[in-house]
């Protein structure tokens, strides 16, 4: 045993040494072959934006420009200080001879001007003061192509998450030099499905930690200093901490009045013009550059944005060369890991590396370097978990997809036929004082692995309903959006509805190893979360105008969950779980019809939730079935 340990330690030391050697070589190569300059680029209204430019020293050919605009800083600042491109996939673009440009967006870090969160797009600009992120991108590209020596006049833009939003706005700039854009996990709609809200419910843990944790604090003047987080709250158990803080006004007391966007959240509880103006899809009309929209099917932050930005481009700009790639990834995993697994679930291949080598780099090389033939990309390249393989389609959702209703049955089963006769509804007591947790463990921060977590902890709770199929006799593949179509009655005037699609593994299932540790481990009975989403009940008829429930009256709650790409394998079961809280992932509903942002701790009440499944009121999940 001791000899084996020494051998393993020696092997580990060799691997670490090799990684450090490669890191050092890449770092030295970039410094030897690139020069960094910093400049303030003037916008049409006179505001200047801080821009870091990394240019190849090679003068034997003209080079394309690849840019990211970010609110997260171009650091490190100083022309002698280089960003660690050698530690991520950017190094491949530098090997290809790209001019790399990073820019602090207006009002952030070292750029001048006022920062506005998801600044609304202005379609018809009439004056130099009519500025938005599209105009700032246009002005930046114009300056770069005219002032960087040895550029080839072709520009690309990409970014992940919030920089994904700025990439979307770049596509709307219509600058003739902009040839290719890749919004990746793009912030798209902060009320309906990205980051801060899901169908009107507030993502309290992410939103509060992000804005109150530093991002939201004002920056009066250009600075290189990180904002100071003055907020001091317990961090050892986020479930306990957020429950003890209580109603949403208590969170506002903690932040004070200094965080503008946090105040905006409270001032706009419904889907009004404030939120509609910040829907990035509004700008996706007559888009000129080639588009590569990328996302992760297990992205906890912006899975909605990737699916739905692509769909908006297809609908509103049908002539655009637009492609979609979705892999089995957490937020940004395709850019900084090999993508071979997430949590306990493995994917049998290094999906992120495959994507980089076969899709993203060839995409930019073709459009910006005019190198090689056009990448043989289908309209949609999607990784299907369960079967663990890439599939290609000429449209998304794919044409063969058939929306198929599977009905909740009184005995807790699922079937493709409606229930017959009369049957008592399934019911549970939803208690805001004891909300259903989003994961079973105690955590410091929200995990990214919860998107594939085992749901047995939830199915054992009395306030979670479970319905499942018999053991599948053949594979079942789903490709497209899920629709929850519930017939409900509640004892109160409002409630939330969380619907989860779960893959139940066979009792004797064992993972046989294909990860770096190559160790097998049991996963018998594992209830893998495939997709989950929440619907705030009062928005069931309109996000603009909430409507109270009539106590104990049967009503329809029908809503769309983000798309899925998953195969339930033969021998598995398909399970649906229904609950009315998902904490502290989402804020708690007082279960009374009121403005939740003004709720008091005393407003939170228990409610009886009933899910109906009889001949007259047949609750169902509409599955996007493909062969």
Confirm if 241 and 233 have CB atoms less than 8 A apart. yes
- Residues 140-195 have pLDDT tens digits of 999 999 999 999 999 999 999 999 999 999 999 999 999 999 999 999 999 999 99
- For residues 115 and 218, give the distance between their C-alpha atoms in angstroms, rounded to a whole number: 9
Which one, of 344, 624, 348, 390, lies nearest residue 505 by Cα? 344
Q: What is the pLDDT of residue 8?
A: 41
Lowest mean pLDDT among 6-20, 28-42, 259-273: 6-20
Which one, of 185, 187, 184, 181, lies nearest residue 65 by Cα? 181
Confirm if 374 and 364 have CB atoms less than 8 A apart. no
Residue 342 bridge partners (DSSP): 345
- For residues 345 and 285, give the distance between their C-alpha atoms in angstroms, rounded to a whole number: 39
Confirm if 49 and 40 have CB atoms less than 8 A apart. yes
Enter the CATH code of domain 2-189+278-393.
Answer: 3.40.50.1820
Give me the architecture of the 402-626 domain, per CATH.
Answer: Sandwich (2.60)
355: tokens are: 């994507």
Residue 391 bridge partners (DSSP): 382
Strands (E), 195-268: 197-198, 201-202
The band of 37, judged by pLDDT with boundaries at 50, 70 and 90, is very high
Strands (E), 228-309: 290-296
- Residues 248-281 have pLDDT tens digits of 999 999 988 888 999 999 999 999 999 999 999 9
User: What single string gives the DSSP state of each residue in 271-283?
Assistant: S-HHHHTT-GGGG
Mean pLDDT for 123-151 is: 97
- For residues 160 and 72, give the distance between their C-alpha atoms in angstroms, rounded to a whole number: 11
Mean pLDDT of the chain: 93
Which one, of 478, 501, 341, 371, lies nearest residue 63 by Cα? 371
Confirm if 408 and 220 have CB atoms less than 8 A apart. no
- For residues 269 and 597, give the distance between their C-alpha atoms in angstroms, rounded to a whole number: 7
The band of 17, judged by pLDDT with boundaries at 50, 70 and 90, is very low
- For residues 179 and 494, give the distance between their C-alpha atoms in angstroms, rounded to a whole number: 49
- Residues 283-332 have pLDDT tens digits of 999 999 999 999 999 999 999 999 999 999 999 999 999 999 999 999 99
Q: Where are the domains of the chain?
A: 2-189+278-393, 402-626
Mean pLDDT for 331-343 is: 94
Which one, of 443, 557, 610, 480, lies nearest residue 200 by Cα? 557
Strands (E), 161-210: 178-184, 197-198, 201-202
Q: What is the pLDDT of residue 514?
A: 56
- For residues 508 and 523, give the distance between their C-alpha atoms in angstroms, rounded to a whole number: 8
pTM of the full predicted structure? 0.94
On the 0-12 / 13-18 / 19+ scale of CB atoms within 10 A, 222 is middle
């Amino acid at each position: 045993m001791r000899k084996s340990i020494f051998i393993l330690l020696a092997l580990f030391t060799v691997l670490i040494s090799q990684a450090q050697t490669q890191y050092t070589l890449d770092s030295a190569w970039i410094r030897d072959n690139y020069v960094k300059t910093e400049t303030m680029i003037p916008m049409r209204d006179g505001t200047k934006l801080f821009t870091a430019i990394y240019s190849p020293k090679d003068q034997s050919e003209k080079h394309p420009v690849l840019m990211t605009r970010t609110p997260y800083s171009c650091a490190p600042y100083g022309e002698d200080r280089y960003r660690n491109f050698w530690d991520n996939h950017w190094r491949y673009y530098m090997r290809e001879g790209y001019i790399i440009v990073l820019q602090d967006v207006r009002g952030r870090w070292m750029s001048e001007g006022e920062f506005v969160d998801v600044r609304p797009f202005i379609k018809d600009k009439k004056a130099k003061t009519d500025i938005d992120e599209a105009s700032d991108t246009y002005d930046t590209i114009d300056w770069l192509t005219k002032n960087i020596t040895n550029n080839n006049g072709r520009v690309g833009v990409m970014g992940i998450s919030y920089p994904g939003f700025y990439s979307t706005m770049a596509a709307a700039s219509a600058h003739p030099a902009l040839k290719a854009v890749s919004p990746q996990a793009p912030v798209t709609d902060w009320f309906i499905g990205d980051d801060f809200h899901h169908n009107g419910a507030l993502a309290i843990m992410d939103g509060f930690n992000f804005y109150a944790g530093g991002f939201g604090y004002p920056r009066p003047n250009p600075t290189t200093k990180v904002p100071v987080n003055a907020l001091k709250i317990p961090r050892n158990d986020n479930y306990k901490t957020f429950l003890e803080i209580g109603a949403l006004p208590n969170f506002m007391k903690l932040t004070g009045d200094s965080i503008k966007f946090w105040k905006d959240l409270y001032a706009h509880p419904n889907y009004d013009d404030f939120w509609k103006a910040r829907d990035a899809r509004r700008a996706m009309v007559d888009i000129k550059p080639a588009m590569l929209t990328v996302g992760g099917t297990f992205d906890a932050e912006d899975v909605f944005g990737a699916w739905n930005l692509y769909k908006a481009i297809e609908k509103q700009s049908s002539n655009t060369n637009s492609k979609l790639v979705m892999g089995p990834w957490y937020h940004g995993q395709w850019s900084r890991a090999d993508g071979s697994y997430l949590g306990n679930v493995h994917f049998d291949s290094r999906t992120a590396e495959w994507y980089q080598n076969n899709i993203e780099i060839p995409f930019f090389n073709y459009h910006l370097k005019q190198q090689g033939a056009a990448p043989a990309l289908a309209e949609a390249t999607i990784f299907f978990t369960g079967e663990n393989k890439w599939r290609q389609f000429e449209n998304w959702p794919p044409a063969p997809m058939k929306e198929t209703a599977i009905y909740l049955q009184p005995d807790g089963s699922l079937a493709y036929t409606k229930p017959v006769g009369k049957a008592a509804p399934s019911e549970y007591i939803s208690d805001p004082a004891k909300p259903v947790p989003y994961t079973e463990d105690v955590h410091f921060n929200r995990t990214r692995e919860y998107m594939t977590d085992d749901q047995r902890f939830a199915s054992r709770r009395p306030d979670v309903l479970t319905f499942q199929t018999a053991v599948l006799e053949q594979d079942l593949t789903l490709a497209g959006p899920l629709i929850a179509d519930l017939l409900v009655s509640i004892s109160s005037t409002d409630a939330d509805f969380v619907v989860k699609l779960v893959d139940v593994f066979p009792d004797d299932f064992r993972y046989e190893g294909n990860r770096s540790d190559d160790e097998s481990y049991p996963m018998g009975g594992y209830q893998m979360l495939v997709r989950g989403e929440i619907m705030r009940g009062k928005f069931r008829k309109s996000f603009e105008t909430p409507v109270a429930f009539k106590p104990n009256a049967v009503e329809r709650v029908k809503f769309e969950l983000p798309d899925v790409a998953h195969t339930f394998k033969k021998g598995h079961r398909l399970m649906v779980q229904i609950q009315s809280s998902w904490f502290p992932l989402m804020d708690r509903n007082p279960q009374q019809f009121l403005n939740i942002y003004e709720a008091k701790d005393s407003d939170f009440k228990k409610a009886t939730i009933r899910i109906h499944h009889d001949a007259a009121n047949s609750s169902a999940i509409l599955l996007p079935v493909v062969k």
